[in-house]
Amino acid sequence: MTAFYEKFMQRDLAGVDVDRVVAAWPSWDALEADIRSKLTGALAEKGVRETREKYVDADGLRTRVQTLVDSWPSLRPRLAAAGTPTHPEHIGLTLAQLKDTFPRAMYYRSRYTVLDVTREIGWFDELVDEVFAPGGLWT
């Protein structure tokens, strides 16, 4: 997560096209189907409950993303990670196992995180690829 967060912090939110982000936002039904495609059993039910708590419709997303873009110049300096694990082995995972957790991780908790932000603005897959690229952080 620290590496993902650092990649996110290297980006400039000022260039986010809020209209494009809102147009690409999935309906709740589509998002629930995605959760159920990635999780099973009780974990799927938990993922649906947790994600439903933080889900917003297109109007809510527009407000959320626009607020983030507008606040970014003052918010960015305040966001700093400290004292967190920086290698998969520190939490008992291989690199492949860690990468496999990313598409599911945002569904485990109702807390709104950088994973949710990047999914909403369309950077999620790109940042995961950057974090786990050959020659990247852990090679």
Q: How far is residue 75 from each of residues 8, 49, 113, 137, measured CA to CA in Å?
A: 13, 29, 14, 25
User: Residue 81: which pLDDT band, with cuts at 50, 70 and 90?
Assistant: low
Mean pLDDT (the chain) is: 89
Asked whether residue 84 carries a pLDDT value surpassing 70, the answer given is no
User: Residue 37: which pLDDT band, with cuts at 50, 70 and 90?
Assistant: very high
106 or 137, greater pLDDT: 106
Length of the chain equals 139
What is the predicted pLDDT for the residue at 83? 55
The one-letter code for the residue type at 128 is V
41 in the Ramachandran plot: left (φ > 0), alpha (ψ -120 to 50) or beta? left
CA distance 138 to 122: 24
Give percent above pLDDT 70 in the chain.
Answer: 92
